[in-house]
Every structure is written in structure tokens, then in C-alpha cells.
Structure 1
Amino acid sequence: MRSRHLLALPDGIETDEVEVLAASRFTSVRWDEGLPDAASTSSRTERRPLTAALGIRAVAAVAPVRALRVGRLTTLVGPYRVEREDAVALGLPTTTVVAYDVHAPVERGAKPFLGGDRDGLKRAFPDGMPVREEERVLQWLVAAARRLGGSVRTGPSGVVLTPDTDGAIDLTVLTARWLEPEQVLAAVQRIAPRARISAPTGTWNGPMPGAGRGVRLVPGMPEPGGTGLSTALEEHGLRDTELRRHVLAESEAFDAYMRENPPAPEGFGVLVDLGVDGTVAVEVGVEHVVPPIMRELPWAQDEVVAYRVRWEPLLIEELEAERPSLEHRVARGRAVPQVQAIARAVHAVTGGEIADESGFLVDPDDL
């Protein structure tokens, strides 16, 4: 087990909860009949010896040990009971009660780039970041650990990632119902009376008068904007001034038409100013990718609308910090009730489902 990734969880987490989280991210999740490495199943009353990683001794299994396939080459085998001394030996939190042994391919790419590392994966893999299936599995493991209050032990390096359960507070309401901006604003204002429609601060009246005029091509000099104009001149046998006059007339006519007939907006937003705690934004638009677990819902077969309730702190870079500052955590703690209440209010009007940042569904009653 020391050579593979482990998903370590506290007490009270059932296997079906892990299965649902897997089905929220991966397609074709299923329980396999056999177990990798010739492992055998065990009942609640059986006691089976574990590998030398946890000491060669009998440990009671908390449930029948099975293999949950989450990818073409990846399975989660477990759950295995983890005693307190086992957790200490593996560097896991002492609150760990069960663990899943992750049989996944080892696929590594380039060294991590500089920048934020909220999940801690750059710290765990300094010599080469996971790619392809291993990357997808590890990202899901960290997200599942955050949702369930657990940890991830990363293979031979032994680096333990314990994501902050409060580190991801954004919520998304997924529904088939489209609300007009005034309807969304009314729902949000029941929670935050100072909410307002996000609107542009200025208007566009077309290009500056005379833009593009008076620029002539000089032989031997680079053409502004590339070689398209000179090529067109050669093809049509037109002089520089004739072609420019034609192009400018066409562009001015198009600009005038668009000013008179602006396209219908495909999305909009509502903003709530929290002062020193940042901003909560409700971003509305069509969602093209829904969690796999929702794909069988009848209303999700057609167009799905997403109402994303996002919190943005004053220092945006803190969102990607694995261990953000105290000030950030205090502001986040004050923003959480606002985000949750707004998501509930929008869901009460639109129906549908609520998903967290990781695409895991959330019961509105739990918010």
C-alpha cells in the first residue's frame, strides 16, 4: 500500500457515499467482481491479514472489501480498517478510520509550474506532475477528501494531502429554467438587499472617427495588420485608396447595424458587495457539461442553465493557496452563509440540483 495512493476517511462514511462521488465525476462507475492483486473479499465478521504496510496482523474489516472501478485502469479497493497506530505510521490524521487502496496507473509529465497550489499536488509531485488518468483520479481523490473530511496519501512519496473542508464554498444551481435578470435580482435581494445587476460601466459607439484612414502602404515596410491588404490588392487589381474606402464603408455599416440591433445577451450577473469580505457574484449562463450522475435526468437532456454563486475575496490569489492567511479564512467564513443562502433562494425559484465546486451534488437542506 505504501507504493499506491490512499484515500483515508474518518468514521461514519459509507461505501455508497464514495460511490456517488465517483459517479459524479466519472462515467461507467461500477463494482468489479474480482479484486486486483488476488485480494479476497471479507465479511463484517471476518478478520483478514493486511499487507506489511500496515503491519502483518489481523485487522477487522468495516465492510465487505470490494473494488470500485472509476476509470479504465483505476479501481478503489476497500474499505480497510485503519487503527490509530497504522494512521501514525502512514502519516495520516489520527481521525482516520478507513482507507481505500487506489490501484491507478503512474503517468507523470513535466515539473509543476509556479503559481497557486490549493490542492497541494505540486508539493506532492515536485519532479513531475500526474497527467492523463492519474491526474484525473488524483484531482477527484482530493475533491472527495475535501467533501468527506478525509485525506489523500500520495504513493511512494508519502506526502499526505488534507484539503480544507471550507476551502471550496462556491455553489452552482443547475436547472432547466431560465430566469430573467430582474427575477434573479429579486431572489438574491431577499438575502442581500444591496445586490445589483452587473452592468457595463460604459458604452461602445464604434471605432474612433477616421480610424484606419490615412495609412498607406510603403514599399519595403511591414504592412500594418499583416499581409492581407496587399494580397487583396493584387487579387482585385485595386489601388490602396480604393480598397480602403470600400473596407471602411463596409465596417462602418456593420458597426451601425450592431449598435441598432445588439445581439441578445447569453448570460448576465448579479453582484453583492461584502465590503472587506469581497464580493459574491451570481453568474447565469447555459451549461454545456453537467456531472455524469445527472445525465439521465429527463430535464437535463435539453438545455441546462447554470446559476453560479461565486465568492471573490479582495486578494484573489488567496483562493489558490493551500494554506491561506487568517484574514482570508475569516472573510471566507463570513461569506459562506451568504453563498449558501443565495444558492438556496435561487434553487427555490428554479428547482433542479445544486452542485459544489467539484461537481458533487448538495442537498439544499444541508446548506
Structure 2
Amino acid sequence: MTASGPAPAPPLDLAVARSRHLLATGVGVIPEDIEALAISRCDTAAWVGPGTLRLLPGVHLSGPFEVDEQARTEFDLPREAGSAYVLDCPQRRGHPLPAELTGFDPVLDAFASGVLTGVEQEAVDHLRAMARRLGGALRLAGSGAVVEPDPDSATDLTVHSPIWLEPDACLAAIREVAPAARDLMADVPAEAVSEEAMEIYGIGVPSGLDLIEITAAGSDAPPLVLRGADWALRGVISYSIRWRPADPAAMASRVPRNLRRPRAQAIALIEQLASVVYEAAGGAVCDDDGFLVDLADLH
């Protein structure tokens, strides 16, 4: 770092980048942002050299590199892309993509002749989660496909807490913002409920024709993102708040225009529900990719 600020990023080497998976980000994203997200999902994540972040054993992310107009044009990257990170990862490919799965996932479609598997699949999944959180994009080696994950596609939230809310208490809190919420176990005969099931409960919230489901369950191990939180070391109670749309097309990578409003309404309600559960139980809130969420930053 110079007296005037950080040194400028070196330009992206196009010859090297052609054969690598790339994570492209906006100019406002800094290496510390990438590090924080990597640590949230990878217990082996650490800087191992200048500009080289280990994600997994044998898997490294290098950067940032400057993305100029030539790179954006050649790699078909979004106009907002100002930086890129290059993934060094062993290539692991499996069987061809079955025809019935075509069109559901752009990453699968990009490797129809042999889908990603093993450590390569895991690494690309990490990059896709980062791109979704940061509003970035992936360029996939081999096919050259560019994937821009929709940030709103991660609709669900989970409140991890040290406190177990009894079903009636949780239902009462949820009814503050969703009066029509109901206990999903209410119609189940008592004799049909096992002792193990008593440690799990569900609450349903209607949202138009859809359903938002809140389930509560305990775990002895904290999620990776909370491994440094003392209160979570002996386990957590996880309150998962999930959207169950009536139309499966609402969960596609490209949501039809007519389903975007219902999805936006579901997201807004999920955020309200997460807020009331968090206020009642405390803890921390994570998104569907396992990243911490500040409720104040949501919609």
C-alpha cells in the first residue's frame, strides 16, 4: 500500500483467464469482501500469499485483476464488471446432464457434456454464492458461459439462536406480522407425534397462493459462519423461514415476469418474519447461501 492508497490492480491476463473460471465484481468490491464471504463458507479459507486466497485444499482464488473494455468484450462480462478473480482448481467432470434437467440451472447447462463434480463443483458453488451476494457474475471455463445470479433468488432466511422458543411463543411472535399464521402440527394426532418430532415444529404463513414455512430444529454443531461465536459453540436452534411457491417456475434461475411480484412480496414477508423471530430469540440471521445478514440492510 502506498501513501496515497492501495496499489492499482494488475490487468487481467486474458490468455490465462480463458482457461479458468472467473468471478467478476463491481469496482466497489474489495479483497476483504471476498475474504469475509470465503471464510463464511470454507473452514480452510485463508490468504496464502499476496492476492492469493485459498478456498479449499488445492483450490485458490487470485486477484483482484483489473477488467478493461477489451476483457469485458472478449469474455462477455457485464458492463459493471471492474475487477475479476481467477480460480485455480482441479477439473472434475462427471456424467452428461440428463435431458430432463436441461434449462433449470445455467451452470449445469454450461457443462451438459459432463457436469461439474467433486471439488470443482464445490468451488464453483462458492463463487456463485459470492456473485449472488455481491451482484457479480461468473465466467465458466470451457463453455465460456457467463452466469449472473439473481440476488433475489436467495429468498430464504434462517435465524440461528441459543434460545428455544416454544411453539406457542413462536406462533404468537409471528402473528404480530402475519395474523393468519397457523401451527402446521395442529392437525396431526398426538399419538402420531414421536418424541423426536416434538423437538421440531412448523408454522405456516399464507402468502397469496403460496406458503411461507417456518421450521424450528436444534443442532449440536453451529453453522460454519458462526464458528467464532461463543454462544453458538454448544449448538444452536435454527428457525428456517422458507418460501414454498405454488408455481415451481418461481424457483427457476430466470423467474418469469408474472411471478416476480409474488416473489418480491414473499421476500418482504420473510424479512419481516425473520425480524420478529430474531427479536424474540436473538442470535444471528443467515441467508440461503450461509452468509450473515444484517436485517437493517434488507429491503
Question: TM-score, normalising length from structure 1?
Answer: 0.72
Counterpart mapping for 1:42-121 below 5 A: 66-113=51-98, 114-115=100-101, 119-121=105-107
Residue 175 of structure 2 corresponds to residue 173 of structure 1: no
* Residue type of the alignment partner of 1:359: G
Instruction: Quote the sequence identity (%).
Output: 33
CA contact (8 A) 1:116 1:317 kept: no
CA contact (8 A) 1:313 1:328 kept: no
* Residue type of the alignment partner of 2:238: A
Q: 1:350 maps to what in 2?
A: 281
Distance in 1, matches of 2:122 and 2:54, equals 14
2:185 to 182, 192, 199: 199
1:330 to 254, 258, 261: 261
Question: TM-score, normalising length from structure 2?
Answer: 0.88
Per-residue displacement from partner, 1:219-266 (whole Å, max 9, x unpaired)? xxxxxxxxxxxxxxxxxxxxxxxxxxxxxxxxxxxxxxxx49952602
SS state at 1:156 partner: coil
SS state at 1:190 partner: coil
1:28 deviation in Å?
A: 2.1
Per-residue displacement from partner, 1:289-327 (whole Å, max 9, x unpaired)? 5432311221211121100011111113531x2212122
Per-residue displacement from partner, 1:115-167 (whole Å, max 9, x unpaired)? 37654211111111111110100111111111110000001211111111111
Q: 1:152 maps to what in 2?
A: 138
Distance in 2, matches of 1:157 and 1:328, equals 30
* Residue type of the alignment partner of 2:202: G
CA contact (8 A) 1:107 1:131 kept: yes
Counterpart mapping for 1:1-367 below 5 A: 1-33=17-49, 66-113=51-98, 114-115=100-101, 119-199=105-185, 201-203=187-189, 259=191, 263=195, 265-276=198-209, 278-287=210-219, 290-319=222-251, 321-367=252-298
CA contact (8 A) 1:79 1:99 kept: yes
1:288 deviation in Å?
A: 5.0
Per-residue displacement from partner, 1:254-288 (whole Å, max 9, x unpaired)? xxxxx499526021111111123x11111111135
Unaligned runs of 5+ in 2: 1-16
* Residue type of the alignment partner of 2:68: E
Distance in 1, matches of 2:128 and 2:105, equals 7
CA contact (8 A) 2:220 2:234 kept: no
Structure number with bigger Rg: 1
1:328 deviation in Å?
A: 2.0
Q: Which has the higher strand share?
A: 2
Distance in 2, matches of 1:71 and 1:351, equals 32
* Residue type of the alignment partner of 1:361: L
Give the CA RMSD over aligned residues: 1.9
Tell me: CA distance 1:290–1:182, structure 2 relative to 1, closer, same or farther (3 Å).
same
Distance in 1, matches of 2:128 and 2:226, equals 21
1:182 deviation in Å?
A: 1.1
* Residue type of the alignment partner of 1:106: Q
Distance in 1, matches of 2:192 and 2:145, equals 60
Tell me: CA distance 1:260–1:136, structure 2 relative to 1, closer, same or farther (3 Å).
closer
Unaligned runs of 5+ in 1: 34-40, 42-65, 205-258
Distance in 2, matches of 1:121 and 1:174, equals 30
Distance in 2, matches of 1:93 and 1:78, equals 18
